[in-house]
A and B are shown apart, each in its own frame.
Chain A
Amino acid sequence: MFLLETTPDTSGYMILGYSVFFITMTIYIASLYIRNRNLKRDLEMLESIQAEEAKPKKKK
């Protein structure tokens, strides 16, 4: 390649490179968002369970 007199057309590799970058970043940011959402759900559920347990039990 380095012996060629004209600049080679390597634009396909450039597009591939930037696609890999943006796709990987999108996947990682999505994973942060999904983990955050799931943990918030877990937290709400655990807090509601604890609140239920903390309530004094009514006598029949």
Chain B
Amino acid sequence: MQPRPIALKILDFVSVILLAISTYLALFFAPTELVMGEVQRVFYFHIGTAWVGLLGFVIAAIAGIAYLVTKNMLWDRFELAAVEVSTVFFFITIALGSIWARPAWNTWWTWDPRLTTAAITELIYVAYFMLRQGIEEPEKRARFGAVYTLLGGISAPITFMVIRLFRSIHPVVIGAANASQEKMSMTSDMKTAFFFALFAFTVIFIDMIWHRLRLSSLEEKVEQLKLNSLM
């Protein structure tokens, strides 16, 4: 395997620094929200992880289309990397949302449209790994995976839009559709922590995708050698 390129080493370092700054901004720089108290601080990482989680699912769908068109296995590796990293981030989103909900809504979980679609989205992508595990032939696995992520990708915009289209107790951070929806208002320091978290998580996401891609190419190499030794 190729040694870690210098650009990836720099990206690793930048990611750690950005995560540290984002943690500082969320925990110490942003003011305490008067109604919810300290628990509101999980909101910065909740939104940051949700953003890259849903972005990754959309990217995986695009990679799936690219694979179906070109039949290039690089797109399959990219799709797998995007789904795996996004599934981890989206799991964190759901966990943080549940922790925030306990003091805010007096329950860990409720079958609100946003929570329901988020849970379904996560389960769709957990099932994606089961699908891949069940198929041995690499081309067939890539083809099935591509079609699956293409269909699964629809769940990402639905999850994003559901609180804007249906009655929901989940707050709308950006662009409430009507006046009856609960909309979060932020001070300028809160906005700084919020937008910095979005930026930091985007960079961390790219860094993790790169690492996962390198792992996939190593997996492919080992799989190829195993096949060769069997012949």
Contacts and interface: CB of A to CB of B under 8 A. Distances in A.
Interface of A: 1-2, 7-11, 13-14, 16-18, 20-21, 24-25, 28, 32, 35-36, 39-40, 42-43, 46-47, 49-50, 53
A60 to B, nearest CB: 26
Contacts of B38: 9-11, 13-14
Given A18-B27, A20-B96, A49-B229, A39 B222 contact: yes
Given A2-B35, A18-B42, A42-B222, A24 B215 contact: no
Interface residues of B, number: 41
A51 B95 CA distance: 49
Given A24-B95, A32-B211, A32-B215, A46 B229 contact: yes
B225 A43 contact: yes
Q: Which of the listed residues A36, A40, A53 has the most CB atoms from chain B within 10 Å of its own CB? A: A36
Given A1-B106, A10-B103, A21 B96 contact: yes
- Tell me the interface secondary structure of chain B in the complex: helix
Contacts of A42: 222
29 contacts: A1-B36, A1-B103, A1-B106, A9-B37, A10-B103, A11-B37, A11-B38, A13-B38, A13-B42, A13-B100, A13-B102, A14-B41, A17-B46, A17-B95, A17-B100, A18-B41, A21-B45, A21-B92, A25-B92, A32-B208, A32-B212, A39-B215, A39-B218, A39-B219, A43-B1, A43-B222, A46-B225, A46-B229, A53-B229
Contacts of B92: 20-21, 24-25
Contacts of A40: 1, 218
B225 A10 contact: no
A2 B171 CA distance: 14
Contacts of A32: 208, 211-212, 215
Contacts of B37: 7-11
B56 to A, nearest CB: 13
Contacts of B221: 43
Given A1-B106, A39-B219, A17 B45 contact: yes
B11 interface: no
A17 B1 contact: no
Interface in B1-60: 1, 23, 27, 32-42, 45-46, 49
A53 B99 CA distance: 57
Contacts of B33: 7
Q: Which of the listed residues A14, A25, A28, A36 has the most CB atoms from chain B within 10 Å of its own CB? A: A14
Given A20-B96, A36-B218, A43-B218, A10 B106 contact: no
